[in-house]
């Protein structure tokens, strides 16, 4: 559980940045940002669910009536106002905004805010400039506290157990969705809030799609299968990918796996504080480029991870963000040969004072099953 004192710390940092950037208030809607600052988690809703964080006043929730008690119970924020289905939210928000004297200022909004809710803001508040919360909250969220690292560690354990279970069940005749269901059951039954993203079981030629949608395909002899999954613990995510081969596989698959594995090792060995995120991507990409497979490595080397499965820092060639101890991100090079197969290897690491440490000890070698 995130403790009250942690929220206070997060708020202090947030208010400092608001001051520096002349931001008058933050309008948080359901998102990782909302959870990070308030402790309230909910999926985006069609009803407006809002937390207003004015620079000089205490934060205030404005939530649908049916969430009133829940929010009072879960959040450290005491001021909770409810609006019912039969009242007009635009008028009500207009009144609250007048009360808080929110006008002629810069307001930060959640990046994923629904357009229909943005229109309510536009109708209720006048003379304001809107910016995205990611423009400044990312700086705070990127470096994880010891507690946050523990949450990711726990989430990684769930994912590791799930991966272990499905690999032992993986054989000719099984269907992709059966293995995905088993993985998600394994995570849930251990106490995870659920998968951190849709579990990927990509078998045979489906493995050439990095984000294959797990389907009804039956696993066959000679298949290369990519398992990519993650669990949540206290709403912090984990993420792990392994490639499994069934029966007799071609030497080409083995050769490509070896290449991906070298790119992974090269990236990992370069991670340390002070180096740029972009240089990690370049290190991995160089190995694959030089072997002539650069055009088949069709995504960035990794992504930050925390409450969001994909967040800053992105391990992308042009990202000049300097790595710092406490940052957590994935290293996941892959090679995808269209219509044939794909191979990926992924672990999440935390940057330490001298290098980095993966969250899992799951073997990184290619896995062979009969
Ligand atoms: Mn990933």
Q: Compute, in angstroms, the gap from residue 203 CA to the centroid of ligand 1.
A: 18
- The answer on pLDDT for 45 being more than 90 is no
Helices (H), the chain: 4-20, 32-38, 68-74, 89-99, 115-124, 134-142, 146-169, 176-189, 251-270, 277-290
- The answer on pLDDT for 249 being more than 90 is no
- The answer on pLDDT for 44 being more than 90 is no
* 257-299 per-position pLDDT tens digit: 999 999 999 999 999 999 999 999 999 999 999 999 999 999 9
Q: Compute, in angstroms, the gap from residue 163 CA to the centroid of ligand 1.
A: 14
Q: Which fold has domain 143-369?
A: Creatine Amidinohydrolase (3.90.230)
pLDDT on residue 284: 98
Q: Compute, in angstroms, the gap from residue 306 CA to the centroid of ligand 1.
A: 12
Q: Compute, in angstroms, the gap from residue 364 CA to the centroid of ligand 1.
A: 15
Question: Once rounded to an integer, what is the mean pLDDT over residues 245-261?
Answer: 94
* 104-133 per-position pLDDT tens digit: 999 999 999 999 999 999 999 989 999 999
- The answer on pLDDT for 370 being more than 90 is no
β-partners of residue 205 are none
Give 369's pLDDT tier (boundaries 50, 70, 90).
very high
Q: Compute, in angstroms, the gap from residue 108 CA to the centroid of ligand 1.
A: 28
Question: Once rounded to an integer, what is the mean pLDDT over residues 294-314?
Answer: 98
Q: Compute, in angstroms, the gap from residue 319 CA to the centroid of ligand 1.
A: 17
Q: Compute, in angstroms, the gap from residue 331 CA to the centroid of ligand 1.
A: 8
CB 32 within 8 A of CB 308: yes
Three-state SS at 99: helix
4-141 maps to which CATH number? 3.40.350.10
Q: Compute, in angstroms, the gap from residue 318 CA to the centroid of ligand 1.
A: 19
Q: Compute, in angstroms, the gap from residue 76 CA to the centroid of ligand 1.
A: 32
Q: Compute, in angstroms, the gap from residue 19 CA to the centroid of ligand 1.
A: 34
- The answer on pLDDT for 191 being more than 90 is yes
pLDDT on residue 362: 97
CA distance 197 to 26: 27
- The answer on pLDDT for 86 being more than 90 is no
Burial class of residue 150, CB neighbours in 10 A (0-12, 13-18, 19+):
middle
User: What percent of the chain clears pLDDT 70, i.e. is strictly above it?
Assistant: 100
Q: Compute, in angstroms, the gap from residue 230 CA to the centroid of ligand 1.
A: 9
Give 306's pLDDT tier (boundaries 50, 70, 90).
very high
Domain range summary for the chain, segments of one domain joined by + = 4-141, 143-369
- The answer on pLDDT for 220 being more than 90 is yes
Q: Of 228, 224, 171, 164, which is closest to residue 196 (Cα–Cα)?
A: 228
Q: Compute, in angstroms, the gap from residue 11 CA to the centroid of ligand 1.
A: 29
pTM: 0.96
Question: What does the mean pLDDT of the chain come to?
Answer: 96
Q: Compute, in angstroms, the gap from residue 346 CA to the centroid of ligand 1.
A: 7
For the chain, the 3-state helix, strand and coil shares in percent, each to the nearest 5, are 40, 25, 40
Q: Compute, in angstroms, the gap from residue 316 CA to the centroid of ligand 1.
A: 13
* 169-182 per-position pLDDT tens digit: 999 999 999 999 99
């Amino acid at each position: 559980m995130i403790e009250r004192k942690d929220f206070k710390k997060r708020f202090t940092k947030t208010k400092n940045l608001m001051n520096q950037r002349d931001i008058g208030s933050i309008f948080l809607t359901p998102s990782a940002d909302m959870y990070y600052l308030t402790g309230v988690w909910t999926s985006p809703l069609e009803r407006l669910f809002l937390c207003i964080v004015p620079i000089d006043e205490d934060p205030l929730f404005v939530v649908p009536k049916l969430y009133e008690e829940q929010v009072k119970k879960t959040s450290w924020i005491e001021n909770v106002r409810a609006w019912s289905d039969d009242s007009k939210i635009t008028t009500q928000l207009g009144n609250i905004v007048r009360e808080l004297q929110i006008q002629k200022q810069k307001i930060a909004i959640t990046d994923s805010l629904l357009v229909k809710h943005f229109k309510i803001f536009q109708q209720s508040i006048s003379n304001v400039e809107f910016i995205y919360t990611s423009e400044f909250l990312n700086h705070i969220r990127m470096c994880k506290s010891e507690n946050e690292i523990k949450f990711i560690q726990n989430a990684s354990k769930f994912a590791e157990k799930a991966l272990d279970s499905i690999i032992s069940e993986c054989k000719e005749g099984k269907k992709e969705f059966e293995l995905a269901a088993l993985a998600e059951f394994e995570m849930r039954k251990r106490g995870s809030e659920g998968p951190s993203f849709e579990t990927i079981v990509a078998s045979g030629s489906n493995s050439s799609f990095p984000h294959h949608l797990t389907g009804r395909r039956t696993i066959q002899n000679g298949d290369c299968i990519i398992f990519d999954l993650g669990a949540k613990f206290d709403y912090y995510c984990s993420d792990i990918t392994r490639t499994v081969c069934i029966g007799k596989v071609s030497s080409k698959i083995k050769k490509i796996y070896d290449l991906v594995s070298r790119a992974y090792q090269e990236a990992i060995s370069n991670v340390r504080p002070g180096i740029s995120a972009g240089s990690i991507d370049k290190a991995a990409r160089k190995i694959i480029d030089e072997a002539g497979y650069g055009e088949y490595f069709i995504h960035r080397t990794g992504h930050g991870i925390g409450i969001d499965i994909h967040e800053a820092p992105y391990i992308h060639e042009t990202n000049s963000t300097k790595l710092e101890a406490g940052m957590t991100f994935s290293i996941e090079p892959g090679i995808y040969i269209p219509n044939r197969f794909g191979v990926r290897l992924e672990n999440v690491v935390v940057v330490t004072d001298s290098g980095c440490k993966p969250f899992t000890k799951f073997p990184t070698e290619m896995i062979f099953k009969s």
